[in-house]
Structure 1
Amino acid sequence: MDKEIGDIEKAALNLSTQERAHLVRRLIAGLDLGKDQDVEQQWLDEAERRLSDYRSGKTTARSAEEIFSEIEQKFS
């Protein structure tokens, strides 16, 4: 399979810039992005949950400086 991909890559590199751009668009369009959309929705849900927890007082906010300082101390 690696040889096949190498052959395809070699052929693609011999295409004009416009043809390569067209090929790239077609290849990307053919990817299964459904899983990425699921992950994006999960992150949105998580962000909404965290905001809700913060607003209701279930959790507090900490500055990035505080967090990075804590991490640096822990791993130094």
Structure 2
Amino acid sequence: MRSAALEKLRSEALNLSEAERAELAHELVASLDGTIDSDAEEAWDAEIVRRLAEIDSGTAVLVDREEFRRRMRARISGS
């Protein structure tokens, strides 16, 4: 059963812009994760920077959405 406070909060949250809802959702999910692993955060930050550098330099092999979906479907089906 939902409390009145939760229902009011839900109603107000749904009236936010998409960007505001995304930010709120991110913060709420992050609050469920417990303590932040700073080593993992640093590693992901470095990985993001590395991948962006590959894209900027033209060395990354990029695929469009349809190709990605085709590959994932093939993996899932075991083909």
TM-score, normalising length: structure 1:
0.46
TM-score, normalising length: structure 2:
0.45
More helix by share: 1
* Structure possessing the higher radius of gyration over alpha carbons: 1
